[in-house]
Amino acid sequence: MHDTRAKNAYMKAERASAELRRGGHVMLRLNNGEAALFRGAEFADGEDINFLSRLAGSGPLLVLTANRVKSLQRSLRQGWPAATVALAAHHYEQVFDLAFGQTRLDDNCGLSLVAERSGSLADHATRLLRKSKLLPTALMARLPFRDIAAQDRFAQEHNILVLEARDLESYHHQAGTMMRIAARARVPLAVAEDAEVVMFRAEIGGEDHFAVLIGKGAELDAPLVRLHSQCITGDVLGSLKCDCGDQLQAAMRLMAENGGGVLIYLAQEGRDIGLLNKMRAYALQDSGLDTVDANHALGFDTDERVFLPAARILDALGITRLRLITNNPDKISQLEKCGIEVEERIPLTLASNPHNEDYLATKKHRTGHMIADKDKG
């Protein structure tokens, strides 16, 4: 079981995430007493920016991730994860465009970027926004005093949640580290009538995931296993824009035809940027960007997924060796780092369609997927 401190840290970060998702402010504080108020830029207008500035007593800053900066055709030094832009009143109307609209920051726009180190307030703010499935662009104002007792009084007076950076670090490290079985039931499937769904919940909170046990798959020495990230558009709506739905069905058929297997279905919509942001990325793809550049334009990484929860689910099922159905080498390397032996990779070879050919080409040439020219993904 996790200790009380880890649970408390996780709960604080979850409350901060909920506050950000409703458009509220959070106070973030470093160990040295440096603190700032911030909120998601996607919720803000000029009046909100003025309010934040007056509340904190300092000038407003826009916080951008390194990927968003790169999409604006600027660059940061290697390893610097974020940058801040000081906002004057006449810049307020530009905030939403700077967050994810425009594609270039002109040299004569009057805005200058200040690089922010790893572990800075700016870095922590964008990381929490990403975990919250919000655009990782923040509006931030630094508090002009470092007296912790005074900061706590200020937060209490204005009903603002305070989040310590050390709690946020614990939140990032603890997520998905221990999964427990919460429920299970037989669910006959069209491709495999002998199937059972096993629901998993993290010990200290986070997303629920589930596994589909087909036949005797979980009892085999090295069962067929597929890690499948949730895709509402592909899995449910039958979207032709990706290959997710086809891969899901093909993997389960392969298991049913070979004595069984285990499909782990992870709540990681849109490579873990969330459905709303995936639709924003789709809109950018309609304007000509590929999947990688669209994610970067929104401020996200190429792939936000972490497969530690999948490894912990395998542990809970007693599976330490497996044959992995995948074209994605990152799934193999992440599982192996978690102590799972991948005995063999089983490729998925499916036909493409005119709507997903560019998507598959990007997977092959930019994200390293092992896709043969005639393969789908």
73-77, 195-199, 208-212: which has the minimum mean pLDDT? 73-77
d(C-alpha 235, C-alpha 246), whole Å:
8
Q: CB atoms < 10 A from the CB of 108, how many?
A: 5
d(C-alpha 237, C-alpha 47), whole Å:
39
Six token digits for residue 168: 């946020």
Which pLDDT belongs to residue 128? 96
Which pLDDT belongs to residue 373? 64
4-173, CATH topology level: DHBP synthase (3.90.870)
Report the first-to-last Cα separation within the chain, whole angstroms.
39
pTM score, two decimals?
Answer: 0.92
* 150 DSSP assignment: H
d(C-alpha 317, C-alpha 213), whole Å:
10
Instruction: State the average pLDDT for the chain.
Output: 91
* DSSP per-residue codes, 157-183: HTT-EEEEHHHHHHHHHHTTS-EEEEE
Tell me what the mean pLDDT of segment 42-62 comes to.
Answer: 87
Architecture in CATH for domain 176-268+305-366 = 3-Layer(aba) Sandwich (3.40)
- Give the strand order in the sheet containing 195-202: 179-186, 195-202, 209-215, 260-266, 224-229, 321-325, 341-346
| Strand-pair category, 82-86 with 113-116 | antiparallel
Supply angle C-alpha 113, 117, 119, rounded to 5: 135
Domain map (residue ranges) of the chain: 4-173, 176-268+305-366
Residue pair 48/141 in contact (Cβ under 8 Å)? The answer is no
Which pLDDT belongs to residue 377? 35
Tell me what the mean pLDDT of segment 39-61 comes to.
Answer: 87
Reported as a single tens digit per residue, the pLDDT across 122-136 is 999 999 999 999 999
Residue pair 326/210 in contact (Cβ under 8 Å)? The answer is no
Give the residue numbers annotated as catalytic, written as ranges: 303, 305
Residue type, 296: H
